[in-house]
Chain A
Amino acid sequence: MTELPYLDGNMLDGPLGELFAVDLSTATGRCAHCGTPSPVAGLRVYSPAPGLVARCPTCVEVVMRLVRGPDRAWLDLRGATFLQFPMPPTSAGTGA
């Protein structure tokens, strides 16, 4: 019997692209469980399942879950302490 394969976080771009205008595949998330930062594209996505379950490649705890109903979606990010996105530089200063 073989271990169930998992996929790369790359595959989250399609389903998450329905929700967000930003490109999540270049974002970095920090695992709330072990603290390791990892590109979203490097998460381990387990599927098929009733939803998408993205796990930390280091500790395998859940970082992100996405459930898509016909007319609603649920995104659970409690396993991520943050998501960091590369952004074009702003022309203004940092304020204050």
Chain B
Amino acid sequence: MRWQPARLVARRAETPTAQTLVLDVPGWSAHLPGQHVDLRLTAPDGYQAARSYSLAAPADGDRIEVTVQRVPDGEVSPFLTDTYREGDPVEVRGPIGGWFVWRPQQTDPVLLVAGGSGVVPLMAMIRARRAAGSRVPFRLIYSVRTPADVFYAAELRDRVRADAGLDVAYVYTREAPEGWRGEPHRLGLADVNNHGWPPELDPLVYVCGPTGFVETVSDLLVGLGHPARRVRTERFGPTG
């Protein structure tokens, strides 16, 4: 797998601290939702920094999308969100990963569980489901700090209305929107029970988020009777 040159063609703000970058990668080979790319920056003195980012959208010719959460004091993410300009080059390597992927020909019900920016590869699956006209039942449980931290908020609202068989439930950990039933809390057994699929339906589960979140959620799911081999996880560590 080689590093390929890419250019920024557009950016969209998702939250005050997160942006989707649309990159043009000439000769990009098609990818599957759930896969990620490595992105590499080189300074004039040869210094390099590389980070992994989940692809946020299904394959679309030479265009790929990643959503970058700005990590305060980070080395790469503040550059990408604040300084990186349209038309400027970066290098990408990918697509990467053949495990944490959803293929539109799959027929099992799907449960997606996102912690914070872990929603990115799961959104790629939701978008691919729509693009393929799939009617596979999808449920997303999205744990997020506050309503202002929700990625793709407007699109998720639209999708729930327009895409039959897609449900989205939110868990707010710090601050809930007005009129919300219940208190902000960390995702727990009741949330997985109320908004997930029962193990009898044998759903395929994708969990993505920080290591601690993924650990907690997979323990809950296995405790509820989901076989460990049906729970696919993607943890991310503290990179910036």
Do A and B contact each other directly (Cβ–Cβ < 8 Å)? yes
Residue numbers of A with Cβ under 8 A of B are: 5-11, 13-14, 17-18, 23, 25-26, 39-42, 47
Residues of chain B within 8 A of A11, CB atoms compared = 52
7 A–B contacts from the bound complex (CB under 8 Å): A5-B235, A10-B36, A13-B97, A14-B93, A25-B99, A41-B232, A42-B99
* CB pair B97 A7 closer than 8 Å: no
B contact residues, total (Cβ < 8 Å): 21
Q: What distance in Å separates the Cβ of B133 from its nearest Cβ neighbour in chain A?
A: 26
Query: Could you tell me the distance between the alpha carbons of A14 and B238 in the complex, rounded to whole angstroms?
Result: 18
Type the 1/0 row for B210-239, where 1 means its CB is closer than 8 Å to any CB of A: 111000000000000000000011111110
User: Closest residue to A40 on the B side, CB-wise?
Assistant: B99
With A8-B234, A14-B38, A14-B93 in contact, do A39 and B1 touch (Cβ < 8 Å)?
A: no
User: Closest residue to B212 on the A side, CB-wise?
Assistant: A5
With A5-B210, A5-B211, A6-B211 in contact, do A39 and B52 touch (Cβ < 8 Å)?
A: no
User: Closest residue to A20 on the B side, CB-wise?
Assistant: B1
Residues of chain A within 8 A of B238, CB atoms compared = 5
User: Closest residue to B38 on the A side, CB-wise?
Assistant: A14
With A7-B236, A8-B234, A41-B99 in contact, do A14 and B1 touch (Cβ < 8 Å)?
A: yes
With A17-B1, A18-B1 in contact, do A7 and B235 touch (Cβ < 8 Å)?
A: yes
Check B138 for interface membership: any CB of A closer than 8 A.
no
User: Closest residue to A13 on the B side, CB-wise?
Assistant: B96
Determine the main DSSP class of B at the interface with A.
strand
* CB pair A25 B97 closer than 8 Å: yes
Query: Could you tell me the distance between the alpha carbons of A10 and B94 in the complex, rounded to whole angstroms?
Result: 13
Residues of chain B within 8 A of A25, CB atoms compared = 97-99
User: Closest residue to A10 on the B side, CB-wise?
Assistant: B97
Query: Could you tell me the distance between the alpha carbons of A26 and B98 in the complex, rounded to whole angstroms?
Result: 6
Closest CB pairs A-B (n = 9): A41-B99, A5-B211, A17-B1, A25-B98, A23-B98, A25-B99, A13-B96, A14-B96, A5-B237
Most buried by B among A8, A26, A47: A8
User: Closest residue to A17 on the B side, CB-wise?
Assistant: B1
Residues of chain A within 8 A of B93, CB atoms compared = 14, 17
With A14-B38, A17-B1 in contact, do A8 and B233 touch (Cβ < 8 Å)?
A: yes
Query: Could you tell me the distance between the alpha carbons of A75 and B217 in the complex, rounded to whole angstroms?
Result: 32
With A6-B211, A7-B211, A11-B52 in contact, do A17 and B96 touch (Cβ < 8 Å)?
A: yes
With A5-B212, A5-B238 in contact, do A10 and B1 touch (Cβ < 8 Å)?
A: no
* CB pair A10 B211 closer than 8 Å: no
Q: Which of B80-109 contact A (CB under 8 A)?
A: 93-94, 96-100
Query: Could you tell me the distance between the alpha carbons of A11 and B36 in the complex, rounded to whole angstroms?
Result: 9
With beta carbons under 8 angstroms apart, the residue of B1, B52, B98, B235 that contacts A6 is B235
